[in-house]
Structure 1
Amino acid sequence: MVAAAFIGPGTVTTASVSGARFGYALVWTIVFAIVATVVLQEMSARLGLVSREGLGEALRNRFDNPVARYASVALVVSAIGVGTAAYETGNILGGAAGLATITGISASVWGPIMGLCGGVLLWTGRYKLIERVLVALVAVMGVSFLIDAILIGPDLGALAAGFVPSAPEGSVFPIIALVGTTVVGYNLFLHASSVQERWAGPDELGECRTDTVLSIVVGGLITLAILVTAAAVFPTGTELEDVGQMADQLEPVAGTYAKLFFSIGLFAAGFTSATTAPLAGAYATAGALGWDADLKSTRFRAVWGTILAVGVVFSAVGFDPVPAIVFAQVANGILLPIIAVFLIVVMNDRTTLGDYANSTAQNVLGGVVTLVVVLLGLRSLWTAIQDLLGLVGGL
């Protein structure tokens, strides 16, 4: 579920652009992002498993001051609820683009079909079924992108050198983007709630941790395979404007099958994200508002249904989602550092967690990751504000 949520068209695009422009130099960034994600997602999963609270509920219940409580609720609903709706258009269009490449049928046709299929899957309200479908698609995605990486034949020496941290000129924003597409705010909400569906309690924490680490590492390997493929296909310094160039370039270099596998992987990435984003938005919104987070409840379905519908409609009519995405970036730029800090605080609450509270080592790791997340959040917020000012100035 975690890998399905953070490996979407945005990740495919970011990894492709980074590999084309900087070659293998930013491989280390993916390694750092995997470690950072494991640290935060493990805390989120432990919180949900031990306290039986979702992250939205925990955030809401920790504030006695009504102003602080309502502010936290408004921020969660804005950043996660509205944010996932803003990104949903891109998720659906990305997956539809993969199908369009394979079939020749327009993405505007495939978009609504994908949305309908995702809606039917979520409407079943059967967590195990949803999880199995997503796991299968992650497997398809992983196999597709890994086969491409093998077919293209990367430079193993340059790949090994990429694990040594470096920051080539102009790479600051791509580094932030690579980490930002892996350390995803709404994933923390999704994970804290979804572990309660799969595991009965803290006695199963060991299995939960193994599952968390494995899924994140698999997701990181998929991201790495995409970056490596782009680094091998394009001369270093290539400015890749859209992921479609990646698919087109693969065919003459590695054959028709390489392009086919890439397109299949892109579809799987789009569909999994288009399904998990509404689910995460529903969990976060329901928790923050104090609603029942039952997959079959009317209000829960109304939230994910609204998010999915926004993506379907906007993808079908060709709506430019940039203004909404800019708003989502601003809200998430504020929320992610707050959630990271909140996780550290709540995970030290021995009244709630007892022996499952953070150890000193976990606090140190969490503190380092949180500091980086705060800096990334500030940088993302500044970039989003500049984009917003640019949009206003262009009116």
Structure 2
Amino acid sequence: MAAATGVGAGDLVATMVAGSKYGYTLLWAVIVGTVFKLALGEAVGRWHLTSGETILSGWRTLGRWALWYFGVYAVVWGFIYGATAMSASGLPLNALFPGLSVRYWAMLCGLAGFLLVWFGRYAVLEKVMTAFVGIMFVTVVGTAVLVTPHLGDLFAGVAPRLPDGSMVYVLGLIGGVGGTITLAAYGYWTLAKGWRGPRWLPMMRTDNATGYVMTGIFVVAMLVVGAELLQGHEIVSGDKGLLTLGDTLAADYGHWARIPFLIGFFAVSFTSVIGVWHGVSLLFADWWRTLRGTTAPIEGSNAYRAYVLWLTFPPMVLLFLDEPFGLTVAYGALGALFMPFLAGTLLVLLNSRGLDSAGRSGRLSNTLLVACLALFVYLAYDQVTGLFE
């Protein structure tokens, strides 16, 4: 759930563009990004299992500023993300079925996600997501196999190198693999599975590692496709750049090759709709519950459903601007503002003396969390200052 939700069309574009510009040279940055997100996901899951509290309850202990930071952020982020995710899902459907514009395909995708999350429980959503993950993996990794990568060059990319002008792509690959706010939702999904207490730590770590190893393989596949098919081509920025790849596949391998890729593109985008509509709505409902000091269930609560509505219907207004690239830029800047908050608060919470010793961070976890914090602070600065240039 967490890994599939976290990989969206924007991540695929960034990886594809990096491959088209630098070949396999930046493969190491994908690996580092996977390790960083694995460390963050493990830290979130460990907090939930060993503290007996949710991440929102942990943030409450840091002061009300942390609760209000998250609450304001979630409202603003949700409005922008709702339009971004729907638009990204509508693009491949429009390419497959051009009789309906991207805008209206996007709205239909938003409604489909809304209905799944409004009426479906976690067990149902998990089965739907599993099916889409299978489609994602077969189509995108299958495309990488189709273009027959040069394995010698691929393995050479494991050695860290920084070609001229590549720093922005390195930071984007490290920071963009596998989600932002959805990382915080991972703990709620472990609870939905019935995992409670430190005895579930080995299972959680196996689950988290499996998810992010798959994510890493998936993103490496996109780097391969960019390096083999698009090196030397100028790629359109934004989610629409993925359509360029579909056209290139059709030209090189026949029209049939375009279709499975577009189906995979849709699966990548729509899993982000389902996962966010469910996971971030749980976060928001827990925020509301924590503010009020109650212990009521959160899934299906009024606050949960209010946020599902907020993600679906108000953002449809932005779809009429027909500016999917502008939405992607705004979403990137907002995402960058959450990651330093998550990494920093996890560092504090998981080194608390009041936490069970099984939950406290060791040297490896603390090192990775500090590295994540430093990277994401820099990325946030870069993203925000970039908006004013």
Normalised to the residue count of structure 2, the TM-score between the two structures is 0.90
Q: 1:41-70: CA deviations, max 9, x gaps?
A: 01101211233432222112x13xxxx41x
- Matched residue, 1:289: 288
Q: Say which SS state the counterpart of residue 356 (structure 1) adopts.
A: coil
Question: What is the CA deviation profile of residues 135-172 of structure 1, one whole-angstrom value per residue up to 9, with x for unaligned ones?
Answer: 21111111110110111111111111111111111111
Change (3 A) 1:133 1:116: same
Report the CA distance shift for 1:326/1:270 in structure 2 as closer, same or farther (over 3 A): closer
Mapped contact 2:23–2:227 kept (Cα < 8 A): yes
Separation in 2, partners of 1:233, 1:322: 23
Is this contact kept in 2: 1:45–1:191, CA < 8 A?
yes
Corresponding residue of 2:256:
257
* 1:216 maps onto 2:212 in alignment: yes
For 1:261-272, list aligned pairs within 5 A.
261-272=260-271
- Residue identity over aligned pairs, in percent, reads 25
> Is residue 9–residue 90 contact of structure 1 (8 Å, CA) maintained in 2?
no
| Equivalent residues of 1:81, 1:281 under 8 A apart | no
Relative to structure 1, the CA distance from residue 124 to residue 195 in structure 2 (aligned partners, 3 Å threshold; closer, same or farther) is same
1:323 offset after TM fit, Å? 6.8
For 2:136, which of 125, 133, 141 is the aligned residue? 141
Equivalence for 1:42 = 42
- The equivalent of 1:158 in structure 2 is 153
The ranges of structure 1 where at least 4 consecutive aligned residues each deviate by more than 4 angstroms after the TM superposition are 236-240, 321-332
Residue 231, structure 1, aligned to residue 227, structure 2: yes
| Partner SS for 1:351 | coil
Report the alpha carbon displacement of residue 109 of structure 1 after superposing the two structures with TM: 2.2
8 Å CA contact 2:139–2:261 kept in 1: the answer is: yes
Tell me the equivalent position of 1:13: 13
Structure 1 residue 18, shift from structure 2 partner: 1.0
Q: Which moved more, 1:3-12 or 1:240-249?
A: 240-249
Residue 36 to residue 320, structure 1, CA distance change in 2 (3 Å): same
Distance 1:310 1:143, change over 3 A: farther
Deviates more, 1:46-55 or 1:138-147: 46-55
Relative to structure 1, is the Cα distance of residues 322 and 72 closer, same or farther in structure 2, using a 3 angstrom cutoff? farther
Partner of 1:171: 166
| Corresponding position of 1:276 | 275
Which letter maps to 1:294? I
Post-superposition shift, 1:327?
A: 5.9
1:301 to 291, 296, 305: 305
1:335 to 331, 338, 343: 338
Alpha-carbon distance change, 145 to 326 in structure 1, aligned in 2, over 3 angstroms? closer
User: SS of 1:235's equivalent?
Assistant: coil
Q: Which residue of 2 aligns with 1:393?
A: none
Deviations 1:202-260 (A, max 9, x none): 22222222111111111111111111111100224744432221111111223323211
Determine the C-alpha separation between the residues in 2 that align with 1:161 and 1:206.
33
Q: Distance in 2 between matches of 1:130 and 1:357?
A: 29
Task: Identify which range, 18-27 or 318-327, moves more after superposition.
Answer: 318-327
Q: Distance in 2 between matches of 1:313 and 1:265?
A: 27
Alignment partners' CA distance in 2, 1:263 and 1:387: 31
* More off after superposition, 195-204 vs 281-290: 281-290
Correspondence 1:93 to 2:87: yes
Superposed CA deviations along residues 321-372 of structure 1, whole A, max 9, x for unmatched, are 67776665555434322321221221233533x2322353xxx333332333
Gaps of 5+ in 1: 391-395
CA separation of 1:322/1:347 partners in 2, compared to 1, >3 Å: closer, same or farther? Answer: same
Letter in 2 for 1:247: G
In 2, the alpha carbon distance for the partners of 1:52 and 1:322 equals 41
Q: CA deviation at 1:386?
A: 2.7
Is the contact between residue 52 and residue 196 of structure 1 (CA under 8 Å) also seen in structure 2? no
Following TM superposition, by how much is the alpha carbon of 1:118 offset from its aligned partner in structure 2, in angstroms? 0.5
Q: Is the 8 A contact 2:51 2:359 kept in 1?
A: no
Instruction: Give the drift of 1:14.
Output: 1.0
Give the CA RMSD over aligned residues. 2.2
| Structure 2: runs of 5+ lacking an equivalent | 291-295
| CA pair 306-147 structure 1, distance change in 2 beyond 3 A | same
Given the superposition, is the C-alpha separation of residues 53 and 199 from structure 1 closer, same or farther in structure 2, using an over 3 Å criterion? Answer: same
**1:371 and 2:367 matched:** no
Most deviating of 112-121 and 101-110? 101-110
Using the alignment, how far apart are the partners of 1:388 and 1:116 within structure 2? 31
Taking structure 1 as the reference length, the TM-score comes to 0.88
Q: In 1, distance between residues paired with 2:218 and 2:40? A: 20
- SS for the counterpart of 2:181 is helix
In structure 1, how many angstroms separate the alpha carbons of the residues matched to 2:326 and 2:249?
Answer: 32
2:305, 2:87 → 1: CA distance? 22
Which structure shows the higher helix fraction?
1
Cross-structure match for 1:356:
358
Residue 208 of structure 1 aligns to which amino acid in structure 2?
Answer: M
